[in-house]
Amino acid sequence: MTDPAGTTPGSGAGPASGAGPAASRAGAGFLPGARTGTPPAPADLAVPVAGHRVLTGPDGSFPRIGELPDRSDWLPVGTLDGVPVWTAAVTDPEALPGSWHSWRRLAATVAEPSATLAGRALAVVGFRRTHRWCGACRAELADVPGESARRCPDCGLTAFLPLSVAVLVAITRPGPAGRPDQLLLVRHAYGPTELWALVAGFVEAGETLEGAAHREVGEEVGLTLDRVAYFGSQPWAMSGPGTLLAGFTATVADPTIEPQVDRRELTEARWFPLDALPAELPPAYSISRWLIDAVAARP
Ligand SMILES: [Zn+2]
């Protein structure tokens, strides 16, 4: 299982204020949507996509539709603070004014709603590119108006924009007498191997989020969990478009049992006192880091 998140280095200069699951519940911000009833207006926002990169203007914000060359193939992404957002696949990126960014780079520098909408734009464009033909009868699929879906005109097969779900678990155990609790952090066998991250993995079909948390922790470090509690979630576009990360806190059922890394996905697992966490932590814009910081801040 590929680690879905939290193993990518970041400057830590992300949107620290207001970052975290609570921020996405604030009401304003980005709302995903697929409505096509009204055509793009010049003042609407545009998020052109080229490959796995998105365009921003010179000041880092998204351009307006009216600032870009006319085109008829804008796809709806949703709204940002009530303003419609559109995306399109661009084949001549150098022809547009502004600069192109990977989602990781963007997420490290813009506010969380902007990173989320850029991730959805990447997902919408990627979905159309990878779902051009019917997987059952090979006819050409067509967009379903108003929905994030494509349908086959011949056999009726409907393909929905795919979403992968992954869980992350911040596992703690009591420290020695008079010392703070300890947090389990792991290093991965691939990706940025120097980071200390959380145990994580994708949810299987037929599995609950909590079931995936128990299974991944059992597989990767051989521990049994107790008091598994939901923390929050974050749309994540780094492991490919369309990933949702669900974070959990948990304690170990038996604090005397030490973690055994599987050597396939992990190289190291270590308990760190909450007042002496390593410097090499996941980036500030990731739910991995929000979880670690929240656990470390517990009284
Ligand atoms: Zn078909």
What number of helices (H) and strands (E) belong to the chain?
A: 4, 15
Average pLDDT of every residue of the chain = 89
Compute the distance between CA of residue 295 and CA of residue 293 in angstroms, rounded to an integer: 6
Distance from residue 126's CA to the centre of ligand 1 (Å): 20
Q: What is the pLDDT of residues 56-93, one digit of tens each?
A: 987 889 999 999 999 999 999 999 999 999 999 999 99
CA of 128 to the centre of ligand 1 (A): 16
Average pLDDT (31-45) is 92
Query: In angstroms, rounded to a whole number, what is the distance separating the alpha carbons of residues 217 and 202?
Result: 12
Burial class (CB in 10 A: 0-12, 13-18, 19+), 238: buried
Residue-level pLDDT at 240: 65
Query: What pLDDT was estimated at residue 53?
Result: 94
Position of tokens 């669900």?
246
For CATH 3.90.79.20, list the domain ranges present in the chain: 25-156
Q: Which token pair is 15?
A: 């949107």
Provide Rg for the chain, Cα atoms.
Answer: 21
Residue in this structure with the two tokens 């979403």, named with its chain if needed: 163
33 Cα: distance to centroid of ligand 1 (angstroms): 25
Cα 151 to ligand 1 centroid, rounded to whole Å: 8
pLDDT tens-digit map of 231-261 = 999 999 876 668 999 999 999 999 999 999 9
Contact 276, 181 (CB under 8 A): no
CA 89 to chain centre: 21
Where in the sequence of the chain do the CATH 3.90.79.10 domains occur?
Answer: 164-296
| CA dist., res. 265 & res. 145, Å (int) | 42
CATH of 164-296, one of 3.90.79.10, 1.10.10.10, 3.40.50.10580, 2.170.150.70: 3.90.79.10
Least confident segment among 22-31, 67-76, 108-117, 243-252 = 22-31
CA distances from 264 to 84, 123, 127, 282 (A): 45, 29, 31, 21
Q: How far is the CA of 136 from the centre of ligand 1 (A)?
A: 5
User: What is the distance in A from the centroid of ligand 1 to the CA of 129?
Assistant: 17
Q: How far is the CA of 207 from the centre of ligand 1 (A)?
A: 29
Which of 26 and 95 is assigned the larger pLDDT? 95
Percent of residues, the chain, with pLDDT higher than 90: 79
| Residues 254-264 pLDDT 10s | 999 999 998 88
The answer to whether residues 165 and 202 touch, using CB atoms and an 8 Å cutoff, is yes
- Which residues lie at CB < 5 A from ion ligand 1? 134, 136-137, 139, 152, 154-155, 157
CA 139 / ligand 1 centre spacing (Å): 5
CATH of region 25-156: 3.90.79.20
